Chains A and B, each alone.
Chain A
Amino acid sequence: MVLRRISPLRIVVALVALVLLVPTLMVIPMSFTSGSTFEFPPKGFSLRWYDNFFSDPAWRDALLNSLWIGLLVTVVATVLGAASAYGLSRTRARGRAVVRGLHMAPQIVPNIVVAVAIYAIFLRWGLTGTTLGFVLAHVCLALPFVLVAVTTSLVGLDRRLEHAAASLGANPWQTFFRVTLPAIRPGVLSGAVFAFATSFDEVVVSLFLRSPELQTLPVKMFDAVTVEIDPTIAAASSLIVVVTTIAVVIPVLLRRPEKSNSESTR
């Protein structure tokens, strides 16, 4: 059956799939090197770079900073983005397109331009090298993702549910928290995941906002490649690859049975 399915199209797609997956896997053998260069294939075997990742204060602090900033960004961006998406979906007022455009603009303006612009202002305002500065900048970059995710789930929402709740005496807050929010929860959650990933992965703005005292993991990784030639980045990258893979694959595995059920009942 498998053989019958081999076609030029499938071969091309298999190659593209390899291109998508294989290059990133290079970091895993690299992380076990016993040498202190990026020489590939790596020499020897050791866990010293994993040890270094968790014991070197610079790496550990960078990781903790990234997690903390990512968490704050997730909360702020999700709340603000969901509120905006809800507000925009509930009005026909003029200026809606402008407001939506403002929310999406951080995705359209070239990344490096956003970085330099924010850096120039934050220097003046004393926000460089501060957690607040990182959070504010990352929230701007995360808002487009949250808005899109939540808007998508609002489109699928049957508004008669809200009318029903209201006609049964629920006030606007009750209607929102007990009817609307549960219904759009998948969109809000995926917006939150996007927000965290945006912040946790952000390099360019962070490179400008960093200070000797405050840097994030991607900034530390950038230094490790460009300045320090520090193979600890291979350990950090491998951990990220493994965690990401688990996070992406598990929901798919969990969703599978549900899908096939609904198909068999159809």
Chain B
Amino acid sequence: MAPQVSTTRATGKPKGAGRRIHLPAWWLVLPAVALLGAFFAFPVGRIVGDSLFDGGFGLSHYTALFSDGVTVRVLLRTILVALAVATVTLLMAYPYAYLMTIVSPRARALLMVIVLLPFWTSLMARGFAWVLLLQDNGPIDKLLGLRLMGTAWAVIVAMAQVLLAFMVLPLYSSMQTIDRRLLSAAASLGAARRSAFLRVYLPLSVPGIVAGFSLVFILSVGFYVIPALLGSSQQAVVAQLIQERTSALLDFAGAGALGTLLLIVTLALLVVVQLAARRGLVGRRGPAPATAPEGGR
């Protein structure tokens, strides 16, 4: 019946009907957009702008950073720490998330609670707990003889524990969608358990790995609290430099330049990961379901 109606009416009618049913969409978005624009986007844009335009347009604030002999080292350390944290959390979270997908609902609920508890617990409480553990003459120092307080190692260990949930959750939600019958299929076609895992399961879990890795990396790169509690100015990360420039020196242009560098690192990682993921997924996922059962071997 509907197709018989003249085209102008056909295209016009559903739109009009939709409008009448629902509140006008853009009005609903406006308050949050205005708030975010004024109190988030504008300040961030401004601090990036200040780093370029303060005292006439130029990269002077950046060249100053790159020639002071400290910033480059701190920036590299920050990236390495973030990579280390993301890697450590991945290694710990992968078996955890995997087990969550194969146990009984009751055990899964328990594992989920264990992940969510620290996730919801105050960051300051958890940071403080790590101060207790790692302080000089603290339990780790006494029992293992490891004086980690004030080092990048302390920062890595504590940050990995604090951010572990952010790795487990994306991994689990991606692994949940993997059809485990593919593993049986691979086994029935003669694949050993290990190679079935490496060649079927692992590639299918790549989206979760990518999501978790980039999330944890991004959170690590901009993390201030844990380095401030457990690190030191000798082994500082960029967040500490930014804080110091802002609070102690009131050098907003310099802090803005440092912040912009962090922002660039973050966005670069997102772009790289997105491209790599897309390519990897298209290459692997496409043929996998089709060829694994048939031409697997």
User: Residues of A with Cβ closer than 8 Å to B?
Assistant: 9-10, 12-13, 16-17, 19-21, 23-27, 30, 38-41, 80-81, 83-84, 86-88, 90-91, 93, 99, 102-103, 105-106, 108-122, 136-137, 139-140, 143, 162-163, 166, 172-173, 175-176, 197, 200-201, 203-204, 208, 217-218, 221-222, 225-226, 233-234, 236-238, 240-241, 244-245, 247-249, 252, 256, 259-260, 263
| Contacting pair B242 A218 (CB below 8 A) | no
Give Cα A172–Cα B39 distance, bound, in whole angstroms.
31
Which of A17, A23, A120 contacts B133, CB < 8 Å? A23
Give Cα A204–Cα B123 distance, bound, in whole angstroms.
11
Residue of A nearest to B92 (CB): A16
Q: Which of the candidate stretches B20-28, B200-208, B280-288 sits at the interface with the other chain?
A: B20-28
Give Cα A137–Cα B42 distance, bound, in whole angstroms.
12
Distance in Å: Cβ of A30 to nearest Cβ of chain B: 6
| Contacting pair A10 B99 (CB below 8 A) | yes
Give Cα A90–Cα B17 distance, bound, in whole angstroms.
13
A118: which B residues are within 8 A, CB to CB?
A: 39-40, 43
Query: Count of A-B contacts with CB under 8 A?
Result: 274
Which of B32, B46, B129, B138 contacts A84, CB < 8 Å? B32
| Residue with the greatest number of chain A CB neighbours at <10 A, chosen from B25, B95, B109 | B25
Give Cα A204–Cα B107 distance, bound, in whole angstroms.
36
| Contacting pair B95 A237 (CB below 8 A) | no
| Contacting pair B44 A117 (CB below 8 A) | yes
Q: Chain B 74-109, CB within 8 Å of chain A: the 1/0 string?
A: 000000000000000000110110110000011001
Residue of A nearest to B139 (CB): A40
Which of A140, A201, A248 contacts B117, CB < 8 Å? A248
A88-B29, A111-B223, A116-B242 known; A103 vs B36 contact (CB < 8 Å)? yes
Distance in Å: Cβ of A259 to nearest Cβ of chain B: 7
Instruction: Determine whether B209 belongs to the interface, using a CB cutoff of 8 Å to chain A.
Output: no
Instruction: Determine whether B293 belongs to the interface, using a CB cutoff of 8 Å to chain A.
Output: no
Give 19 A-B contacts (CB < 8 Å), ordered by A residue: A16-B92, A16-B93, A21-B117, A21-B118, A24-B118, A27-B128, A27-B132, A38-B135, A88-B25, A102-B37, A103-B36, A116-B242, A121-B43, A162-B21, A163-B21, A172-B20, A201-B123, A260-B105, A263-B105
| Contacting pair B132 A9 (CB below 8 A) | no
| Contacting pair B115 A23 (CB below 8 A) | no
Instruction: Determine whether B276 belongs to the interface, using a CB cutoff of 8 Å to chain A.
Output: no
Residue of A nearest to B113 (CB): A252
B18-76 at interface with A (beta carbon < 8 Å) = 18, 20-23, 25-29, 31-33, 35-37, 39-44, 46-47, 50
Instruction: Determine whether B169 belongs to the interface, using a CB cutoff of 8 Å to chain A.
Output: no
Instruction: Determine whether B221 belongs to the interface, using a CB cutoff of 8 Å to chain A.
Output: yes
| Contacting pair A112 B132 (CB below 8 A) | no
Instruction: Determine whether B225 belongs to the interface, using a CB cutoff of 8 Å to chain A.
Output: yes
A27-B129, A140-B40 known; A9 vs B99 contact (CB < 8 Å)? yes
Give Cα A2–Cα B39 distance, bound, in whole angstroms.
55
Instruction: Determine whether B121 belongs to the interface, using a CB cutoff of 8 Å to chain A.
Output: yes
A109: which B residues are within 8 A, CB to CB?
A: 44, 222, 263, 266
Instruction: Determine whether B183 belongs to the interface, using a CB cutoff of 8 Å to chain A.
Output: no
Give Cα A132–Cα B194 distance, bound, in whole angstroms.
57
| Contacting pair A40 B31 (CB below 8 A) | no
User: Residues of B with Cβ closer than 8 Å to A?
Assistant: 18, 20-23, 25-29, 31-33, 35-37, 39-44, 46-47, 50, 92-93, 95-96, 98-99, 105-106, 109, 111-118, 120-133, 135, 137-139, 161, 164-165, 218-219, 221-225, 228-229, 238-239, 242-243, 246-247, 252, 255-256, 259-260, 262-263, 266, 270
A116-B246, A248-B117 known; A80 vs B32 contact (CB < 8 Å)? yes
Distance in Å: Cβ of A203 to nearest Cβ of chain B: 5
A80-B32, A87-B27, A120-B46 known; A203 vs B221 contact (CB < 8 Å)? no
Residue of B nearest to A17 (CB): B114
Distance in Å: Cβ of A260 to nearest Cβ of chain B: 8
Residue of A nearest to B125 (CB): A237
Give Cα A234–Cα B223 distance, bound, in whole angstroms.
22
A23-B130, A121-B46 known; A16 vs B36 contact (CB < 8 Å)? no
| Contacting pair B42 A106 (CB below 8 A) | no
Task: State the 9 A-B residue pairs at the shortest beta-carbon distance, nearest first.
Answer: A110-B222, A87-B28, A237-B125, A91-B25, A117-B43, A113-B259, A221-B124, A166-B21, A112-B239
Distance in Å: Cβ of B281 to nearest Cβ of chain A: 21
Give Cα A114–Cα B28 distance, bound, in whole angstroms.
25
| Contacting pair A203 B225 (CB below 8 A) | yes
| Contacting pair A23 B161 (CB below 8 A) | yes
Distance in Å: Cβ of A71 to nearest Cβ of chain B: 17
A16-B92, A120-B46 known; A237 vs B124 contact (CB < 8 Å)? yes
| Residue with the greatest number of chain B CB neighbours at <10 A, chosen from A80, A111, A116 | A116
Residue of A nearest to B95 (CB): A12
Give Cα A122–Cα B44 distance, bound, in whole angstroms.
12
A21-B114, A83-B32, A140-B36 known; A225 vs B229 contact (CB < 8 Å)? yes
| Contacting pair A172 B124 (CB below 8 A) | no
B238: which A residues are within 8 A, CB to CB?
A: 112
